[in-house]
Amino acid sequence: MRRRKPVKETDLYAPVAEHLQSLGFTVRGEVNACDIAAVRGDELVVVELKRGLTIDLLVQATKRQRMTDSVYVAIPRPRRMDGWHGQRRVLRQLELGLIFVRFYSRRKPAVEIVFHPVPYQKQKRKAAKQAVLTELEGRSGDFNVGGSTRRKLVTAYRENALQIACFLDSMGPMSPKELRELGTGPKTQSILYSDFYGWFERVDRGTYGLKAAGREELQQYRDVVDGWRRMADSRA
């Protein structure tokens, strides 16, 4: 069945109102700034209508939570659901319900209650927290500017690889043991062996050197390797 887009927000009103009426609610529009207010006994439901999920819609909906816990946002069902996992999570954390309205060219719109507003139980995952703490501990400084896309992020792993590359560039080919003695840490062997970035090459048994690609990367991250460069130069 061919779908059509609603022309305006008011197109959402009738399908949602009829659905609530079918559940036994008395429905009224534009009540004390609420797009839809529905009552059944002592139960009050409020629905805010918009053509898409926006910050303005979330602000309006959370204001309505002063009146009742049963607040929904209603929007046309998106044609593409990419990225909706995150948006649903936001709505659930705000304890808002979600309604999709699907419009057709030759039949009545269909209403889908995606989920109801229920208390959100925030679950902190220990593994996720520990991953952040481990990453923070592995960084020697703050080399990333939030929101920047000009160069690749300096993660703890990249910083460790840059440290190794810096020593190889300044001091020539070395073994993992020699590098560890300079302070490159326990992951030195695996970083050299896996060569994730394509910077390193084995020049002899147990000895590694730096490729041209690695030297180019050092130029981009001069602010990161400056301290190691001075240290290496002092020992060269």
Q: Give the long-range contacts of residues 117-120, CB within 8 A, separation 24 or more.
A: 117/69, 117/70, 117/71, 117/72, 118/92, 119/95, 120/92, 120/93, 120/94, 120/95
The b-or-e profile of 117-154 (16+ CB within 10 A means b, else e) is beeeeeeeeeeeeeeeeeeeeebeeebeeeeeeeeeeb
The span from the CA of 178 to the CA of 184, in Å, is 9
DSSP state string for 160-200: HHHHHHHHHHHH-SB-HHHHHHTT--TTHHHHHHH-TTS-E
By DSSP bridging, strand 110-115 and strand 200-204 are unpaired
User: How confident is the model over 10-43, as pLDDT tens digits?
Assistant: 889 999 999 999 999 999 989 888 999 999 998 9
The span from the CA of 179 to the CA of 185, in Å, is 8
The span from the CA of 129 to the CA of 101, in Å, is 38
User: Does residue 119 contact residue 95 with C-beta atoms inside 8 Å?
Assistant: yes
Please state, as a whole number, how many other Cβ atoms lie within 10 Å of the Cβ of residue 159: 19
User: Does residue 111 contact residue 72 with C-beta atoms inside 8 Å?
Assistant: no
- Using DSSP's 3-state secondary structure scheme, residue 147 falls into coil
When mean pLDDT is compared across 3-7, 87-91, 184-188, 222-226, the lowest value belongs to 3-7
Residue 127 has pLDDT above 90, yes or no: no
Domains along the chain? 10-115 (3.40.1350.10), 126-235 (1.10.10.10)
Residue 124 has pLDDT above 80, yes or no: no
Average pLDDT (92-98) is: 94
Nearest 5°: the CA angle 223, 199, 188 is 80
pTM of the model: 0.58
Which of 67, 56, 93, 89 shows the shortest CA–CA distance to 75?
56
43 or 232: whose pLDDT is higher?
43
